[in-house]
Amino acid sequence: MSQQSSTRQVPEHGDVPRHIAIIMDGNGRWARNRRLPRIAGHRRGVEAVRATVRACAERGVEYLTLFAFSSENWRRPAEEVALLMQLFQAALSNEVEKLHRSGVRLKVVGDTRRFAPKIRRLIEEGERLTAENRRLTLSVAANYGGRWDILQALSRLLKEQPALDEIREEMLSPYLAMSYAPEPDLFIRTGGEQRVSNFLLWQLAYSELYFTETLWPDFGAAALDDAIASYRRRERRFGRTSEQLQDAKRAEVA
């Protein structure tokens, strides 16, 4: 299914969000609370990823996008960056086969050129192995930045459509890193911070935002259900009035 801009038409949406995007934050604080090194929090974070992928597949979520490493995270101490890379590599080596067996399609979005050749190879192999799976599309955002995404999309678009004044909004979407997915219905950030931290800037234009104090290693099926319950209570208006939406619903039933 192709991407559509939710700023143009109201996308169909039911009780379960089709696309959930998560900023997995709070690993460091989870570890500090236990007097453990930060990497222990990141390791537990991988377990939370497993639980969340499973829960999303069970609930019929079609797309799950996880922010694993931002383009700004290179600013962390070299030792933490190195350990995160090791963990990413180990997760790719150990999890891809299991994901494949569960019918999950893996995508990695971001500027992967900065990763070690071994990691890039694992990404390519994992994406190729799982390319035909349709139960759930798991996108891992790694060395991803929302501004990078908009700029790389624009520069590719300009190569084919050099007249800048003829560029319209919907022409950019096919060039964005996640052109294969609809825009996120639900955005979740764990760890208590209420900011977007350069995640999917373009695509979050009309997503429902949900912030929770739960630290990422403690996230799982129950916390996901709380977020989905909150999503269900929202009225997505996309600029329209509540009355317009109710009229449209009545017309649908009639």
Using CB under 6 A, list all residues that contact ligand IPE: 23-29, 67-70, 73, 84, 191, 193, 195, 197
Residue nearest to Mg ion (CB): 25
Residue nearest to ligand IPE (CB): 28
Those residues with Cβ within 8 angstroms of residue 10's Cβ, 6 or more apart along the chain or in another chain: 236, 238, 240, 245, 248
Q: What whole-number distance in Å separates Cα of residue 246 and Cα of residue 188? A: 27
Our CB check for Mg ion shows the closer of 25 and 149 to be 25
- Rounded to the nearest whole angstrom, what is the least distance from the CB of residue 216 to Mg ion in the complex? 9
Q: Is 73 a catalytic residue?
A: yes
Q: Is 27 a catalytic residue?
A: no
- Rounded to the nearest whole angstrom, what is the least distance from the CB of residue 151 to ligand IPE in the complex? 19
Catalytic entry in 15, 27, 73, 133: 73
Our CB check for Mg ion shows the closer of 15 and 72 to be 72
- Rounded to the nearest whole angstrom, what is the least distance from the CB of residue 76 to Mg ion in the complex? 10
Q: Which two three-digit tokens encode residue 95?
A: 């999890």
How far is the CA of 78 from the CAs of 81, 88, 130, in angstroms?
A: 5, 15, 32
108 binds, among ligand IPE, Mg ion, none (CB under 5 to 8 A by kind): none
Are 138 and 99 within 8 A, CB to CB?
Answer: yes
Q: What is the CA radius of gyration of the chain?
A: 19
Concatenate the DSSP letters of all residues of 129-140 into one string. HHTT--SEEEEE
Q: Just list the catalytic residues.
A: 25, 73
